[in-house]
Chain A
């Protein structure tokens, strides 16, 4: 058993279920179960290193419910390893190391508006936040999900988003960059949702995840509305390899994303995001 505590030793897990999330079929969610024993718990924002045997590892954020339920990972087939992962099926075994990384600072959301801004597959690491927020809803003021996707067919967790929309405890606004026939929702970039959301900028916590350029613009929009950079947190992505701060692959200036992040306050990473050489 002690061998499983080695952060570099993958733990064998079986793929129990595969759910295809998008119309293009490039984004899918795995439900995983360990071959032996129980998996450690996680905190929203943390990630695991998933190992497709013979292909390699990829850092993937955890998208399941932190309080209950199976281990879930939503993965986009975007590179060599994740494309191999896409071709795996229920019953196949992969390796899992983790959880790693600093979580979202959810204790800072108490008695404040929680503004969750997600873009594309960036909703995956924020899903545990929303599930956690709904569980301890009475300790928060407003809970808002502002979600931008490329097209309606590229939206993650579409059924769940529709279910959230129907609940009074959470305000959901979705926009797409490019509409399709039959789409009756908003069209435009996610920053436009920030402008209309009407939250209290002096009493809010904003959590951002999506492509870096989207987070830059969303962070700017939140600050223009009067939010201090210390109340805006985002999840960064770099080429993570070891997951524990040993190899240096995910270095961003003085930071190692896997060890010091992936979740950071905007004031800590904003100066680095502007350095083109990094």
Chain B
């Protein structure tokens, strides 16, 4: 448990009160995945979220004839999964370990109960998730800009 709480003190949960970290820790367990293992599956119940400690997870969407199309890599210190926050709490995408992964998996129902019980904990957690969501949205917009594509404007020399 101590090791798990230590892991929560850095990265996405840095700055949270010790008591809050312990209550989150009570909803969490350490998990490991081998390269290629599925971490979440589109359409499945979003009953967890993860803090990646080591390794990389690839978020993807399956397209007929194309297979799994990678959208983004999530690495150490990153949070994976926010579908548990919004009804109907269903995973919208797939994710699999692209290398051996160690992570902390949080039981979403347990965390939600703690957030209901202690709105300050809920606020702190939501503030961090909103930060992650905003950040990923900005990155997705930049990705969508396709900045390395051949210029579409006036012809350079």
Contact = CB atoms under 8 A, between A and B. Distances in A.
Interface of A: 26, 56-58, 78-82, 119-121, 148-150, 154, 175, 177, 179, 181, 183-189, 191-192, 195-196, 210-211, 213-214, 217, 239
Interface stretch (B16-24, B41-49, B66-74, B106-114): B66-74
A123 to B, nearest CB: 11
A189 B143 CA distance: 6
Given A57-B157, A177-B143, A179-B69, A187 B150 contact: no
B145 interface: yes
Contacts of A177: 143, 146-148
A26 B147 contact: no
A78 B151 contact: yes
A192 B147 contact: no
B103 to A, nearest CB: 15
A187 B148 contact: no
B77 interface: yes
Given A195-B77, A213-B147, 13 more contacts: A58-B157, A79-B155, A80-B155, A80-B157, A82-B156, A150-B149, A179-B70, A183-B70, A187-B73, A189-B143, A210-B147, A210-B148, A239-B156
B58 interface: yes
B94 interface: no
19 contacts: A26-B150, A56-B157, A81-B157, A119-B147, A148-B148, A150-B146, A177-B146, A179-B69, A183-B70, A186-B56, A186-B75, A187-B58, A187-B73, A189-B143, A192-B73, A210-B147, A211-B147, A213-B145, A214-B148
B143 to A, nearest CB: 5
B89 interface: no
Contacts of B149: 150
B87 interface: no
B142 interface: yes
Contacts of B76: 196
A163 B129 CA distance: 38
A239 B157 contact: yes
A197 to B, nearest CB: 10
B155 A188 contact: no
A148 B72 CA distance: 13
